[in-house]
Amino acid sequence: GAVVSQHPSRVICKSGTSVKIECRSLDFQATTMFWYRQFPKKSLMLMATSNEGSKATYEQGVEKDKFLINHASLTLSTLTVTSAHPEDSSFYICSARGEPSDQETQYFGPGTRLLVL
Amino acid sequence: LAKTTQPISMDSYEGQEVNITCSHNNIATNDYITWYQQFPSQGPRFIIQGYKTKVTNEVASLFIPADRKSSTLSLPRVSLSDTAVYYCLVGDSPNTGFQKLVFGTGTRLLVSP
């Protein structure tokens, strides 16, 4: 199946700093990528839909100025957590849509664990 | 988007067959049913997808009754490594453009020796 990577796999930062997380589709082009957040023992929560060359679509309750998403190419989307606070500590997962005829529909990255001190 | 309901947790032993049922009463005509597996600190991994009747692949089977209001993921002869959270999702069709995936609570499967 197709491969989606995320970088970094884990990051620790100080409160007030910004952190950028990269999501790459390694062997296919993804016009749409999705960003999720997952707290311990909880399910994945969709944050936003990232479309190549256009503005991201954010889910209700997700601050777009807090979580900046850029999808500058067909293989890369970035999520920047601005002015991070301890409550932003979470597991962030991206996914990328494969070819329309692909049964697997969405390929998920390995996730990025963010810890804000 | 159709809402799904699954058991919060299930326990099994190595070598047994595990069946996890998911309810999706308001599934739409064009919706497919997809199951994902997630291990701790990893992204979800696709297991199987179906529309109706039965689908089987090398790791699981998916049974969907005629009314499509529920589905059952069947894992044959589970091993310790099948301990994970299993998510049932509906609404993402492979051939009709993009639809976002909405994850429910999932079922936490614990396989014991």
pLDDT at residue A102 in the model: 60
Distance CA B47, CA B67 (A): 22
Does the structure show a pLDDT above 80 at A101?
no
Closest-CA residue of chain B to A42: B105
Given this model, what pLDDT does residue A114 score? 97
Instruction: Measure CA A101 to chain center.
Output: 23
pLDDT at A7 over 70: yes
Give the model confidence (pLDDT) of B52-82 as tens digits. 999 999 999 999 999 999 999 999 999 999 9
Question: For residue B109, is pLDDT > 70?
Answer: yes
Please give the structure tokens belonging to residue A72: 């500058």
Q: How far is A54 from chain B (nearest CA, A)?
A: 15
In total, chain A counts a number of residues equal to 117
Q: What is the mean pLDDT of chain A?
A: 91
Confirm or reject contact between A40 and chain B (CB < 8 A): no
Q: Quickly state the pLDDT bin for A61 (edges 50, 70, 90).
A: very high
Residue A18 burial by CB count (10 A; 0-12/13-18/19+): exposed, middle or buried?
exposed
Is the CB of A43 less than 8 angstroms away from the CB of B46?
Answer: no
Alpha-carbon separation of residue B89 from A37, A55, B6, B58 (angstroms): 17, 26, 10, 20
CA distance A117 to chain B (A): 20
User: Average model confidence (pLDDT) for chain B?
Assistant: 91
Residue with the bigger pLDDT between A105 and A22: it is A22
